[in-house]
Amino acid sequence: MASIALVTDSTADISQEVRDKLGISMVPLKVSFGEETFLDNITLQPAQFYQKLTAFTAGLPKTSTPSPADFYEVFKKLTDEGRSVISVHLSSSLSGTYQAALIAQSMLEGEGDVTVIDSKSASYGYGNQVVAAAEMAQTGASKEEIIDEIHRLRGEMQLYFMVDTLEYLQKGGRIGKASAVLGSLLNIKPILSIDDDGSIFPVEKVRGTKRAMARITEMVATHFQGAPVDVTVAVTPGYTSGVAEMAEMLKNQLNIKRYLEAEIGPVVGTHAGPGTIGLFVTPAR
C-alpha cells in the first residue's frame, strides 16, 4: 500500500512545527502590500503581517491564490515518490485555491493518485482536518479511512469567529461604511460562522468583547452537552489577553480533552483584521 501524503494551503494556519512533525506539504497563497508581494506564512509571518497591516494606509493588502503550476509541482514530486496524495483546501466559496488544486490534479493525467477536498471551512476550521488526517496517515490508516474522518470532522465541528473591529470587514466590502461606523460606536462585536456550503454568515451581534466570548462559549457548551471535546482557539498575534480570557471560559464550561492555540495568518487576517479570535470545537478523537 502506498504511503499517504497530506497537502494543504497556508490558510489552514498550521504552524511550521506541526507541518514538519507530521510531514504536511503546504502551498502558500500570496499577500501584496502595493508593489511588495509575500508568500503567506513563508516570507511573511503572522506577527510581521499584522505590524504591516496596521501601518498600511492604502486600503487592504491584496491576496491571491496559488497557481495550478504551484500545486502541480508539489503533487508531481509526491506521486513520483510513489505516494498517494490527499489535498485539503480553503472553502471554494471563499477562494479559488481549491479550483487551482483541481486543475493541477487534472494536469497529472492519471500518472498519480491525488484526491482534492474542499474543506468548506477556513483557518484552523480545516487545519484541524489536515492535522487529524496526517496523524492517521502516520499510523497506517487507509486513504478511505482518512477521507471519511475528514468529512466527519467537517460535519461535526462547531466554529465561530469574533472580530475586534468592523474596519477590515468594511474595507473588504463585507459591510457598508455606515454599519461599520455605527457598530464601532456601539462597541458591536459580530459573531460569525461558516455554513455547510463553506460561506461566512453572521450569527449574532453582541455588545462588548466579554459578552461575545461568553455567548460563543454558551452556544458551544449547549451543543456538546458535556461530551468530551477537542478545542482550538486561533488568534491574531498580540491578543494574548483575549485568548486567556476565552480559554478560562471554555475550560469552565466544556469537557476539554485536548486544547490548542493557533495563530491566524496573513490571508485570513487581511479580511478579519487584528484582534480576531476563532474557536473550533469537535468531539474528542
Evaluate whether residue 37 is within a structural domain: no
The pLDDT > 70 percentage for the chain reads: 91
Domain end residue (candidates: 156, 173, 201) = 156
Structural domain of 99: 4-29+65-156
| Same domain? 134 vs 244 | no
- The pLDDT assigned to 168 comes to 64
| Same domain? 115 vs 171 | no
CATH code (residue 91): 3.40.50.10170
Q: Residue 164's CB: how many other CB atoms inside 10 A?
A: 18
| Same domain? 143 vs 178 | no
Q: pLDDT tens digits for 93-106? A: 989 999 999 999 99
Torsion angle (degrees, nearest 10) of CA 173, 176, 182, 183: -40
Is pLDDT of 69 > 90?
yes
Evaluate whether residue 56 is within a structural domain: no
Q: CA Rg, the chain, in Å?
A: 19
| Same domain? 178 vs 206 | yes
Render 65-118 in DSSP notation, one character per residue. Answer: PPPHHHHHHHHHHHHHTT-EEEEEES-TTT-SHHHHHHHHHHHTTTSS-EEEEE
C-alpha 36/C-alpha 20 separation (Å) is: 28
Evaluate whether residue 59 is within a structural domain: no
Count helices and strands in the chain by DSSP H and E runs: 11, 13
Residues 128-132 have a mean pLDDT of: 96
| Same domain? 162 vs 222 | yes
CATH code (residue 179): 3.30.1180.10
| Residue 169 in grid coordinates | 470587514
| Same domain? 106 vs 18 | yes
| 281 and 217 Cβ atoms separated by less than 8 Å | no
pTM above 0.95, yes or no: no
